[in-house]
């Protein structure tokens, strides 16, 4: 079956209308007993069920999801899809294509599905759905999905998005400068076949991936305050009155004194349930309790068990997330004689099985705190966004799409542990860690004698 009409921008064309009619006929033949089927339009993304008439109108007005080429939700089998679209190309060749390309598409499709949360019943009036759909999010994922489906050059098995992510990863690992990255891009473009679509500069590459970018904020040079929330629009520190900017020429060029890199944890945790690969594993801790005294996983610890007893509402839903936090200073330049100490804050979800809950893939960097020296007791200024987010996840939770149940739930999170060396522990807790009464357990009951 010809599906080229899906990518037509002009939905008034006869070819597009005929394609919609053919799709409705195909879906009806494969679902003869159903009055409602999943709507594959760009806004409903196979999440909501509608009648055939409404779906036809949606496809004519909104267009079909461009990534929905194999109509599995409407009765098309993988073999039928292969036979119809591969032509002379052998099916085994498709299975042997670059797995990374498929993985990127899979990740984007899972995130795209999780964006649409069925917060209203299926029998609600059609127009009510428009109030819960973020069309800006749809546009972002549409762009990313198209980039994931655009091959680097005609006949390539690698998508442009996949190639770009790999190149930028190599740039970071090998500390390439922006200038060297531009030179390498120029060289690669010169040896690729005609029709290649690789960006020509680092700036263009970053622009393509800007939809995946994460947050950052400005901080006072003296660590007095963050330019955040009430202070977001201020030009100088509310405490010490220092200028927010290192450079401000009054013509639009502004360079902040300090930048705090903050990567919200909520979206990371939501994606663990949106992803088909990790949604099952996030329930591991509930299904694998042995009931003996052997410590195999944090779920076997006394802290976890006491927490579940104290907060049964949290323990009731196995999808609520138990977290650990680690922080310390390090020198990013690898030269210990250089006086620079940047601090990281990492969160780990302990719902995962032992082989994943402490692996690097599931250690989520939430903050990078800049500075030539350790932030010391002012670290609480930088932790405000994270503390606010964790409080909100504990009290209110966040509506999250679950790939297994194909429904949404209110996900809560709790921070159970912090993992640090002794000096970092003192900075985070605000407790003395040297000198008199430095013991965190004994505190004021410290038994000591002057010599």
* Residue reference for tokens 């037509």: 8
User: What does the DSSP 8-state code read for residue 151?
Assistant: B
Give the pLDDT band (50/70/90) at residue 270.
confident
DSSP SS3 for 79: helix
Q: What is the pLDDT of residue 263?
A: 84
More confident site: 163 or 248: 163
343-390 pLDDT per residue, tens: 889 999 999 988 888 888 889 888 888 777 777 778 888 888 899 999
Q: What is the pLDDT of residue 416?
A: 92
Residue 265 burial (10 A CB sphere; 0-12, 13-18, 19+): buried
Q: Where are the domains of the chain?
A: 4-149, 160-212, 226-259, 263-365+382-419
In this predicted structure, the answer to whether residue 339 has a pLDDT above a threshold of 70 is no
Share the mean pLDDT of the chain: 78
In this predicted structure, the answer to whether residue 89 has a pLDDT above a threshold of 50 is no
What stretch of H or E contains 345?
A: strand 342-349
Mean pLDDT of 313-328: 92
The DSSP secondary structure of 231-299, one letter per residue, reads GTT-SB-TTT--BSEEEE-SSS-EEESEEEEE--HHHHHHHHHHSTTTTTGGGHHHH----SS--SSGG
Q: What is the pLDDT of residue 211?
A: 59
Mean pLDDT of 332-338: 60
Give the pLDDT band (50/70/90) at residue 234.
confident
Mean pLDDT of 56-82: 76
């Amino acid at each position: 079956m010809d599906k080229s009409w899906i990518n037509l921008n002009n939905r008034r064309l006869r070819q597009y209308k005929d394609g919609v009619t053919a799709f409705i006929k195909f879906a009806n033949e494969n679902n003869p007993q159903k009055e409602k089927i999943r709507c594959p339009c760009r806004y409903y993304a196979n999440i909501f069920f509608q009648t055939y008439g409404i779906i036809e109108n949606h496809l004519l007005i909104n267009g079909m999801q461009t990534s929905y080429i194999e109509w599995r939700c409407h009765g098309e089998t993988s073999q039928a899809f292969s036979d119809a679209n591969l032509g002379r190309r052998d099916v085994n060749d498709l299975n042997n294509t670059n797995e990374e390309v498929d993985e990127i598409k899979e990740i984007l499709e899972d995130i795209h599905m999780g964006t649409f949360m069925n917060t209203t019943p299926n029998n609600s009036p059609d127009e009510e759905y428009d109030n819960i759909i973020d069309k800006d999010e749809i546009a972002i994922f549409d762009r990313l999905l198209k980039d994931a489906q655009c091959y680097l050059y005609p006949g390539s098995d690698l998508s442009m998005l996949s190639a770009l992510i790999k190149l930028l990863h190599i740039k970071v690992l090998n500390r390439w400068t922006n200038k060297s990255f531009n030179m390498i891009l120029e060289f690669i473009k010169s040896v690729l076949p005609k029709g290649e679509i690789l960006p020509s500069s680092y700036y263009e590459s970053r622009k393509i991936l800007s939809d995946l970018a994460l947050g950052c904020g400005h901080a006072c040079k003296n660590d007095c305050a963050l330019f955040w929330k009430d202070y977001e629009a201020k030009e100088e520190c509310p405490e010490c009155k220092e200028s927010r900017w290192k450079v401000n020429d009054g013509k639009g060029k502004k360079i902040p004194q300090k930048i705090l890199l903050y990567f919200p944890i909520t979206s990371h945790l939501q994606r663990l349930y949106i992803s088909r690969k990790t949604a099952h594993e996030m329930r591991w801790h509930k299904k694998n309790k042995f009931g003996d005294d052997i410590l195999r996983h944090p779920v076997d610890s006394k802290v976890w068990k006491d927490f579940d007893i104290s907060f049964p509402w949290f323990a009731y839903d196995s999808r609520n997330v138990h977290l650990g936090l680690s922080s310390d200073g390090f020198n990013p330049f690898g030269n210990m004689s250089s006086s620079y100490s940047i601090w990281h804050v990492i969160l780990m979800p302990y719902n995962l099985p032992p082989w994943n809950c402490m692996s690097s893939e599931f250690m989520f960097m939430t903050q990078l705190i800049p500075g030539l020296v350790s932030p010391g007791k002012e670290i609480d200024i930088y932790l405000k966004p994270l503390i606010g987010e964790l409080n909100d996840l504990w009290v209110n939770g966040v509506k999250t799409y679950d790939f297994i149940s194909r429904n949404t739930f209110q996900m809560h999170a709790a921070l159970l542990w912090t993992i640090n060396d002794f000096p970092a522990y003192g900075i985070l807790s605000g407790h003395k860690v040297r000198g008199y009464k430095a013991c965190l357990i004994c505190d004021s009951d410290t038994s000591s004698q002057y010599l």
